[in-house]
Amino acid sequence: MNCYLSRNYRNSAYAGNKAKIDIEQIMQNLGYTNIGRSQTRYSGVVSAFMATLASMAAAPFHIGRGDVLVLQYPLKKYFRMQCRIAHARGAKVVVIIHDLGSFRRKKLTIPEEIKKLSLADYVIAHSEAMRAWLIEHGFRKPVGVLGLFDFLSDSKPASRTKAPEKPYKVMYVGDLSYSYNAALYEMGQNAANWTTVLYGGGFELEKATPGCRIDYRGYINSDDLIAAPDADFGLVWYGSSRHGCEGRIGDYLRYIAAHKLSLYLRCEVPVIVGKGTAMAEFVEREGIGITVDSLDNIEGLLGKLSPEQYMQMKERAAAVGRKLAQGAFTSAALAEAGKALAAK
């Protein structure tokens, strides 16, 4: 039996929870069995804790020899317990990594993280770069690669039959606070070929550099954005510098498959990502957008972009977006994990 553990998700709109909820749904669609309690969405701290605890406590009674248990990491205090129980009962454990505590939050040392993950029999990393990082730091179990996080939604963007007129609209969705993403406040100074469309909370308009072409739209639900994306590109960028993704979160982009990228592709728009990030190779290989060393390069690259080139990128982005809507990346990664464990 292939199985997983559901839990409580206090905020389903939060990108991290959205990805986990989608993976649970994909596993359910694939015929995996939830051996915990039904998924819940309690917002209260106590009720949320009790719901997840009840799900974790139910699991040992429903797992047996030969089963494969999929855990989404991190699982905080429950991870070690579930791995040990599964192994005691003769089951294997597959872990899908969402976040690493030794990276941006520094809640674990690297040796502590590797030791913890080594309780699994197979790990699915975000990217080839993350896979290499795990192996470099001593992880010795098999490692697969997800590539992109799938993004489920009933919404479907309207098709576009011709390229947009310049200036292009480049959207950014996420945390817009200056302390988190100061580079956004310097984007597109005196640009002729593009303007910035910002979705999210925390934007401090008074801190924007004079000459920036910024259209702040506020918060938008992802389903509504997918249904009517008023943008021509989606930007993945973090940090304080427009000349490269810097800082702890910027460095993290060298390894992760940003959920933001999946959202843009579900909107069926091409993307702009920083060179040196884990996503850059995928974007270039699939022809779904452009990669830049600096936000300052966007103006020149978009200025040279022909309508035919844009539509080709958009069609390829739409094709990837349809795969994300079907759960294709998670399904493929889990199938690869199953093959690897069966061969052992």
- Using only the alpha carbons of the chain, give its radius of gyration: 21
Question: Roughly what angle, to the nearest 10 degrees, separates helices 328-342 and 15-29?
Answer: 60
Per-residue model confidence (pLDDT) at position 14:
65
pLDDT in tens, 79-105: 898 899 899 989 999 999 999 988 877
The values of phi and psi at residue 259, to 5°, are: -60, -30
Q: What is the pTM of this model?
A: 0.92
The pLDDT of residue 7 is 78
Peptide bond into 142 cis (omega under 30): no
Print pLDDT tens along the chain (344 aa).
899 988 777 766 666 789 999 999 999 999 999 987 777 766 677 777 677 777 777 667 678 899 999 999 998 888 898 899 899 989 999 999 999 988 877 778 999 999 999 999 999 999 999 999 999 999 999 999 999 999 999 999 988 778 898 899 999 999 888 888 888 888 877 788 999 999 998 888 888 888 788 889 999 999 999 999 999 999 998 777 777 666 666 678 889 999 999 999 999 999 999 998 899 999 999 999 999 988 889 999 999 999 999 999 999 999 999 999 999 999 999 999 999 988 76
Stated as kind and residue range, the H or E segment containing 216 is: strand 214-218
Q: Please count the other Cβ atoms lying within 10 Å of the Cβ belonging to residue 253.
A: 23
The pLDDT value given to residue 235: 95
Query: Residue 191: what pLDDT?
Result: 85
Q: For residue 46, give every residue at least 6 positions away whose Cβ sits within 8 Å of its Cβ, in sequence order, or none.
A: none
Strands 271-274 and 233-236: parallel
Please list, in sequence order, all residues whose beta carbon lies within 8 angstroms of the beta carbon of residue 90, skipping any fewer than 6 positions away. Answer: 64, 65, 66, 67
